[in-house]
Structure 1
Amino acid sequence: MLNTSQITTPGRIDVLHVDDDESILDLSATLLEKNHGLLSIHSKLDAKEALDYLETNDIDCIVSDYDMPGLNGIEFLEQVREVHPDIPFILYTGKGSEEVASKAISKGVTDYLQKGTGTEQYELLANRIDNAVAQRRSEQRASKIERWLVELAEETTNILWIFTADMDDVIFINSAFEELYGIHIDRLHDDPLAFLDATHPEDRRHVAKAVERLRNGQTVEIEHRVNESEDYQRWVYVQGKPIRTDDGEVTRVVGFITDVTERKEREQQLRKFQRAVESSGHAIYCTDTDGIIDCVNPAFEEITGYTAEEAIGETPAILQSGEHEQAFYEDLWQTILDGDVWRNEVVNEHKDGERFVIDQTIAPVTDESGETTHFVAVNNDITEQRATERKLGILQTAIDNAHAPLTLTDPHKEDNPMVYVNEPFEDLTGYTKAEALGRNCRFLQGEDTDPATVARLGEAIDNEEPITVEIRNYRKDGTPFWNELRVAPVYDADGDLIRYLGTQRDVTDRKERTQELQHQNDRLEEFASVVSHDLRNPLNVAEGRLQLAKDECESEELSHVEGALDRMGALIDDLLTLARQGETITDFESIKLAALVENCWATVEITSASLVVEINSGTSIQGDQSRLKQVFENLMRNAIEHGGPDVTVTVGELDDGFYVADDGPGIPEEDRGQIFDAGYSTADAGTGFGLSIVDQIVGAHGWSIQVTESEAGGARFEITGVSGAGSASYERVGENNGGDPRV
């Protein structure tokens, strides 16, 4: 409520009485002051003297005669109104007429009173003076209050507004409207509903309905967006209510508008934060200052097994596993009660009794005064991480104790740097751990490093595929060496890539021997070509002459000659094969063993023979595919030739190689030592070089071959020194012209 005592004028009323009759002045002053203690009469005999007095004195009311020398009462009134337009002026005259009264009213007289007889007229005059001054003072008070209210309205950042009852006209609105809504007040005076244009299009219908409710005499409270110039980013809270007369009639509607943009932004941020907490993969809970849990997020429920209903109202002690001493928790509480953040690893217990490890951070939450009101705990479940670290620790221990040079790189760091090297690596390269760690292994490469090999290595790493390459590397002192580098991805329990393991082996000596053997192979190939030319030419001549002889005559002897020539051709072919297949293998490739066996079986004349493959479909070996094809084809033909058309051939894996077995008559133990000799054969049509060629190819790969008895009593050839093992098997019978191998 407004306290008007501070704006109420003093009770005394100063009256300037002007009359050219001094006796009337004295009588009037005496009676007015005597009977009305608040009146103070200041008497003047003419208008000029009165005007001079007004220039230096404050007067509450003027009482003037009409008929006076100099200026009459009307003329005096006119001059007073030029300077004091609102001072009460009572024309108190003995000359009364309608003309004088009308003229006085037109010039702004406050009251008109005709002089009479008796003292009662002074009582009436006093009342007229008191009423006129009271009205003026009331108007001054109202004007001052209105001025103060306007000043107050202009000082506030809120918008204060008054509309007519039908909201068709603006009675008052302060200037804060322009800044908040982004439109000028003059526009609102021209169109009282122009504020709708400054309202967000999506909110206008809502605001328009609120206007209708106000027009219907209802109170409204709404929030909406305004200010097109700021892309409607300003939020306002509007409250409006009708003002009614005692009869209940609405005379106007008033209200205020507050800028709530900051609150809305905080609410939005709070909602985002709440969604972030609820969506967080970390378990989060809050407690009061006594440690009672009052809120948890879904991740807490998932990690601990406790529902929100079960956890709220309890203390975090429900999660304690007994792993930590009491002093551990005392330190925790002392830290957070001192207003500091506490962080440590904690071993907690799931509702079902299973333990888990968390990285826990607890921080105090304070109010505006700095008083701690809550504690918030953020818990990152690192159980699997610690398990992985233990496994990596075991792996690192194994690597530390390994004799082979080993490295670990981190693919999650830029350029996949080495994060671990063992001592054999230092011995091999000459680089210390300090010099190697944090660098990509390409610093071991040099000018003679094959770019194609580097590219294959990089592609395999990018595809998370294991790879083995021979690469030219350089030691710290600059000496080159051939490095057999094997790189394999390392995964955690979730199948996520965490490291690459690199295994190094110095194969310089082997590489040099291989190069020397390649030179020998080249010379052997050259010799075989010469022999082939020198032997085949006479043989071709003999075969041509034989055909001419057969054309001229028929003789059984010519058939024997033809058979001898055919045998000579087969011997030459086998001899050349034996010479060439004995060449040392220098270029190895990855070969799917089961697929190779299938392809070989398809090229052998098998009639009704059967094939059983006991090789895992994923088994691969390193070798020369074309030469290995001759190994399998020769062993399969050998089984069919000696085991008969219905023989079953089985190919399977060994721990370090593979075998080819049959269910034929087998090979006598006393003959097994010579079956690989060149020229040895128990078949009439054989050259005796088939198994010798097999032995040569196996030896060229660096493997070994031996013959033993199969489970069915037939022959079993075991080739060892090759990695790979499996258990899948299937059977193929008869002609190889269809069917799924199912390997």
Structure 2
Amino acid sequence: MNDSPLDGLDARTMALAYLGFGTAGILGGELLLSAALGAPPAPEAELIKGFSFVAVSTAFVWALASRKDRRIERQQTSIRSSLDQLRTVVAASPVPIIAVTPEGRVTRWNDAATEAFGWKRDEVLGEPLPYSAGENSENSEEIIRRTIDEDGLSDVSVERRRADGDLREFRLSTAVVRDADDEPAEIVGAFVDVTEQQRRERRLREFELAVEQAGHAIYLTTPEGEITYVNPAFEEITGYDAAEAVGESAALLSSGEMPEAYYERLWRAVQSGETWQERIIDRRKGGELYTAIQTIAPIASDGDIHGYVAIQSDITESELTRQRLGVLNRMFRHNLRNRMNVIEGYAEMIRQDATGAAGVADEDLTDAAETIVEAASELVALSEKAQTVSDALESEATPRRVSALVESAVSRAESTYPEATIRTDIETGVFARVDSRVGAALDELIANALKHGGETVHVDVYRTEDDDSKLVVRVADDGPGIPDEEWRVIKRGEETPLEHGTGMGLWLVHWVVKKAGGSMELEPSPLGGTAVTLKLPVGAERPRTWFPSGE
């Protein structure tokens, strides 16, 4: 809107108009004076002066108007240039920028908005905003109203659904563009997609909560080993609170019990980017020693190590328990074997004495002596079975071909039970390796089947149909089967005074298979007895020709 009618005229038009009005004024004045008042005509010199004044005034007016035109042209050129630059910036901005009328119809939509929301510019210009708001977010109409009322908004959190239905999170800032009458003409909004940032922040908060609530001591250090963070479990386990530990060297926990070579190996490992995991003896603030399994891993990016994270699991009590059980086990087995030898010796003496001088045996006394000898032998066998269980569970796991384990177990069983029939059926092409400790479980299953079952045992090895990472080993017999109550005890994982197993054999199998990462099931045997099925995780496959020795 122009301020006056003259604002629309250029300098030449204004000068000509001024000259015309001036000339007409002089001539018209002379005619009016002569005709109306009868005044004599003005001297020629006066007329020339008047026309000269009008001409000079016209030139002055033209100069002023021309200067004004040039200034206006420069301003308009500058404005056009600024508008062109603004359009270029808006179009090239990596930030989605959208403008709408107060009624919500789209007037501007840059390429970044197309990338962020999925609609093309031609699809939305002149149309209502195409996206919808999330359930917990303000809608577009409310944002427009607030923008006008508050003359712009800053950093408002909104959720908007893309053309493909994906709900994204944005930080939105808006501004009002007003016309010459100070009325809202456009509402411009700039969107910053913070979806991934918000997800990272949520994951970070979850990680922080997990670390804070973890039952293991966790602490962070600089590359030089200075502690920068400890979690509550660290404070509880070590006795040092965060204020005492942060800023100190990790050597704060050193007990003096570990050799220097331990720490040298530790630093070589973590500084080369490896993860270190070893048993360590550290010292609490109060001076007490504690044993922990410690894992230390480098915190690295782009090949540079920025620090280390250490996790300690306090195993002091479990170590003491293991030591106590080990000592008790050795003492029990040693003393049991010695005392059973004494019992067997005296029982044999009683049986010999039961014959008497007349050569007539006292059958009751003989039977009692034999019962004592049998019971003693069973107790010694139980002690030896306990040793077998201990050895199997405490030994290191090594991968061995399942066929070799089966063949070795069958060979040992055939030498112990030469009259038995043991058939093996190993699926063609199965060269998988399993935990070597499974061999002890196979020994127990086959021996148990022959001792308490019938005279026939089948051992089958095959792949599962639904999971190539698992292997099935089934030991089936034709005997009376395992009692239900004994199997329930194994499945439950504990014995009770009213319900317990009759021996350690099934426990041995259960523990070994669990330690190997597998499972055990009991089912009817095709032979009429019981079938124990082991489902075991397998290792890497190897061609048969790589193992000429069978290992």
TM-score by length of 2: 0.51
Aligned equivalents of 2:165 and 2:16: distance in 1?
74
Shift of the 286–434 alpha-carbon distance from structure 1 to 2, 3 Å rule, reads closer
Secondary structure of residue in 2 paired with 1:281: coil
What corresponds to 2:218 in structure 1? 284
Aligned equivalents of 1:211 and 1:232: distance in 2?
26
Matched, 1:365 2:299: yes
The residue identity in structure 2 corresponding to 1:284 is I
Shift of the 330–186 alpha-carbon distance from structure 1 to 2, 3 Å rule, reads same
What corresponds to 2:442 in structure 1? 439
Aligned equivalents of 1:124 and 1:274: distance in 2?
78
| Root mean square deviation of aligned Cα | 5.4
Match of 2:116 among 167, 180, 203: 180
The residue identity in structure 2 corresponding to 1:447 is T
Deviations along 1:493-530, one digit per CA (max 9) or x if unpaired, are xxxx9579xxxxxxxxxxxxxxxxxxxxxxxxxxxxxx
* Aligned ranges 1:48-447 → 2 under 5 Å: 132=69, 135-136=72-73, 138-162=75-99, 172-181=108-117, 194=129, 198-204=132-138, 208=142, 211-212=145-146, 215-217=149-151, 219-227=153-161, 229=163, 231=165, 233-241=167-175, 254-333=188-267, 335-337=269-271, 339-366=273-300, 371-387=304-320, 389-390=322-323, 404=381, 406=385, 407-408=388-389, 428=416, 436-437=439-440, 439=442, 441-444=444-447, 445=449, 446-447=455-456
Q: Once the two structures are aligned, what percentage of the paired residues are identical?
A: 25
Matched, 1:467 2:401: no
**Higher radius of gyration, 1 or 2:** 1
The residue identity in structure 1 corresponding to 2:158 is H
Aligned equivalents of 2:321 and 2:415: distance in 1?
29
The residue identity in structure 2 corresponding to 1:200 is G
The residue identity in structure 2 corresponding to 1:377 is A
* Aligned ranges 1:656-675 → 2 under 5 Å: none
Conserved 8 A contact 2:11-2:62: no
Aligned equivalents of 1:329 and 1:349: distance in 2?
15
Secondary structure of residue in 2 paired with 1:467: coil
Aligned equivalents of 2:318 and 2:251: distance in 1?
24
Conserved 8 A contact 2:133-2:139: no
The residue identity in structure 1 corresponding to 2:96 is I
Conserved 8 A contact 1:332-1:342: yes
Aligned equivalents of 2:107 and 2:504: distance in 1?
89
Name the structure where helix makes up a greater proportion of residues: 2
Conserved 8 A contact 1:180-1:227: no
Aligned equivalents of 1:387 and 1:180: distance in 2?
61
Conserved 8 A contact 2:220-2:309: yes
Shift of the 363–214 alpha-carbon distance from structure 1 to 2, 3 Å rule, reads farther
Deviations along 1:214-245, one digit per CA (max 9) or x if unpaired, are 52336432223211555553111112356799
TM-score by length of 1: 0.40
Q: How many residues align?
A: 368
Structure having greater relative contact order (Cα 8 Å, sep ≥ 6): 2
Shift of the 250–328 alpha-carbon distance from structure 1 to 2, 3 Å rule, reads farther
Aligned equivalents of 2:478 and 2:488: distance in 1?
15
For residue 269 of structure 1, report the CA deviation from its aligned partner. Answer: 1.6
For residue 264 of structure 1, report the CA deviation from its aligned partner. Answer: 1.0
Shift of the 346–244 alpha-carbon distance from structure 1 to 2, 3 Å rule, reads farther
For residue 139 of structure 1, report the CA deviation from its aligned partner. Answer: 3.4
What corresponds to 2:481 in structure 1? 453
* Aligned ranges 1:706-721 → 2 under 5 Å: none
For residue 94 of structure 1, report the CA deviation from its aligned partner. Answer: 8.3
Conserved 8 A contact 2:133-2:140: no
The residue identity in structure 2 corresponding to 1:454 is I
Task: Give the stretch that moved more between structures: 152-161 or 333-342.
Answer: 333-342
Aligned equivalents of 2:480 and 2:98: distance in 1?
82
